[in-house]
Chain A
Amino acid sequence: MARDVKPRRKALNTALAWAAGLLIFFPILWPILTSFKTEGDAIASPPVLLFFDWTLENYAVVQERSDYMRYLWNSVIIAGGSTLLGLLVAVPAAWSMAFVPSKRTKDILMWMLSTKMLPAVGVLYPIYLMFIQMGLLDTRIGLVIVLMLINLPIIVWMLYTYFREIPGEILEAARMDGAGLREEILYVLTPMALPGIASTVLLNVILAWNEAFWTLNLTAANAAPLTAFIASYSSPEGLFYAKLSAASTMAIAPILILGWFSQKQLVRGLTFGAVK
């Protein structure tokens, strides 16, 4: 229900909303702007906001100094691979917890989530040593496995929540109509859960893309993703702000674009009208 809002009040609200939005966006906007500055302008005091000599030089230097595409490719494989592997494990897990729950289902879910409370650094040594033994250090497959494992609780939780909203009767009806488990999941469950699965995939890709602790600690050169690419530009001395910003912008650009295009899909709900 729309409330009767006076024009002045409305303008104020709009201004406040824009201010809040800009404040949240600023940490992303600032490096993007800085990436187009010369190193001199980048550290100018007071800082210049928009009126500087726009240049693409930083991007050229960054690309020349390090092979962006290799890092990007590593990021894509690690984020995409860990998400796909996670889905393969999480869909059946969430399916059974949502549709064939037991007395302990809630406890299992809580226990799974509780593993996220553990500080990652607490298991760094064991995992590091295991990786050395198994020869997984600085390999993409090693990172895919680790990132899949650390994000698995979130994938299972999200899918569980989405699956729970699908009435079990619809799946029973499908079984009654002659659908086997494969058809039931393919033709009924998946299309109905698609918005949920899509947002789970997107969120997980973003989490894996941004993950910096394990990717920095378990890689050196071969499997280093974009997080390592950015990190290589932070140095204690020298004028590197603009180049660091250019590297950051290049690292977040793909995920930013992906998020922008998929936001509609995330919001859409398909289950409406199924029952009653």
Chain B
Amino acid sequence: MTSVTIRIDGQDATDTPPAKRGLAMVFQSYALYPHMTVARNIAFPLRMAKMEKAEIDRRVRAAAEVLNLTDYLDRRPGQLSGGQRQRVAIGRAIVREPKAFLFDEPLSNLDAALRVGMRLEISELHERLGTTMIHVTHDQVEAMTMADKIVVLQAGVIEQVGSPLELYRAPRNLFVAGFIGSPKMNFIKGEEAARRGAHTIGIRPEHIDVVENGGVWQGTVGVAEHLGSDTFVHVHDTGLADTITVRVPGEVSHRSGDRIGLAPREDQIHRFDAQGLRIG
């Protein structure tokens, strides 16, 4: 490293070895030591720090209690489920009482149900410890629900930094606009965009209303996805884009092939220039 410095908590950490930076990391693959019991896995960083045995025991017990691992301390990683292994990896991180945690996609190896559960557990742990956590994820739901501040990166370039709602309300460019929010924002080019003084306009599915007659745009219903609380209606033949997705609250009875009118809420339309940057 020649021209940059890494600062952690105000201290220059550029030449500090990873272990001395006061950071703890949870790996995507957990990277547990397979030949050690859960207790020894969690104790490893403390043993390396040459801590007293009584203090190590105390900290391991405390961590195990926080993470519901007390009954598993004598098992080996191979005898644990995915979620338990994940908790051991987190345990190994919290005993070090670091200045910040680094989580490298910690939930991506878990199945969907477990992922939602662990998401909550990590958020609760964060509340309790009050320590900074840097959490890398590809899952925008994870990002939106867990973060105080999101940094959106694309190919190593920071696209935008802000709170989840800032990113949702005022995405700085097309990439962020398309990344945050589910279903994805609709992008419209051409005449409709030009009329509003932009190269591209974007509107979220929840900001378009379905009207029986008229509407600003018209189209044919393709597929309607019923989620119970909401319905996602995919509308074709609007002349705007291949598909316009509309989010309608509750159950609606639009069928494939129905002609419907769409009324975008003008104040919720995002405008982008030819470079994909936000206008206004």
Contact = CB atoms under 8 A, between A and B. Distances in A.
Interface in B226-253: none
A275 B49 CA distance: 24
B135 interface: no
Interface in B65-118: 76-80, 82, 85, 92, 96, 109
Contacts of B85: 273
Interface residues of B, number: 30
Given A178-B45, A178-B49, A183-B48, A275 B29 contact: yes
Contacts of A176: 18-19, 23-25, 45
B33 A275 contact: no
A173 B32 CA distance: 8
Given A175-B18, A176-B18, A177-B45, A270 B35 contact: yes
B30 A275 contact: yes
Nearest to B30: A275
Interface residues of A, number: 23
B31 interface: yes
A129 B144 CA distance: 75
Contacts of B92: 173, 177
Interface of A: 167, 169-170, 172-179, 183, 187-188, 191-192, 270-276
B33 A170 contact: yes
Contacts, number: 77
B48 A178 contact: yes
Interface in B12-48: 17-20, 23-25, 27-35, 44-45, 48
Given A173-B25, A177-B92, A178-B19, A275 B48 contact: no
A273 B29 contact: no
Contacts of A172: 27, 31
A168 to B, nearest CB: 9
Contact of B48 (A169, A179, A273): A179
A170 B76 CA distance: 15
Nearest to B82: A276
Interface in B97-151: 109
A224 B191 CA distance: 94
A275 B31 contact: yes
A272 B79 CA distance: 10
Contact of A273 (B20, B28, B78, B96): B78
B48 A192 contact: no
B27 A274 contact: no
B18 A274 contact: no
Given A273-B76, A274-B77, A276-B82, A167 B33 contact: no
